[in-house]
Amino acid sequence: MMDLSDPATSEHARDVAELVPRVGRLVGIADEELEALELAARFHDIGKVAVPDELLMKPGPLDDDERRVMACHVEWGAELLRHLPGCEPIARFVRHHHERYDGCGYPDGLRGEEIPLASRVIAACDAYGAMMSDRPYRPALDPDQATLELVQGSGTQFDPRAVAAVLEAVDAAEHQSAQG
């Protein structure tokens, strides 16, 4: 469904789903829970199928009303997943992947440890992946700038443990890639 409605979002979700198991292990998520984490990452933006294309593809900033519509994607996605047999457990992770560590996120304003750990991992991986790819409203950031943005959001937007784990996982992947 995502591949058909928005191929760029679908590709981004695949990238996030590739990173989250490595990050999940680093923050202590048990091996038996990593499959649910990976599935939640794969479907974290499924609710965007209900967002109008003109918002998804808008080349400039969203106004307040447009941001409110876009923010609904987490609730729409969680609701969809709640109705799919076997996906009920991941619906909660999808619902909370835009909560902020400081409590200023959405949809429920959860903070810190109130946010499911899987959602905190997805949030950091999602942000890194989004920064590393072209968007309708801006070109991709270089890796150093994306890293700086994550670090600057550590403790406010993102769980510091998740940020440290993303940076460690990305560094390890780059090191492994350079070795051949």
Catalytic residues: 48
DSSP SS3 for 138: strand
CB 37 within 8 Å of CB 122: yes
CB 133 within 8 Å of CB 39: no
CB 132 within 8 Å of CB 143: yes
Q: Cα–Cα distance between 153 and 151 in angstroms, integer?
A: 5
List the one residue out of 9, 84, 91 whose CA is nearest residue 53: 9
Neighbours of 60 (CB within 10 A): 8
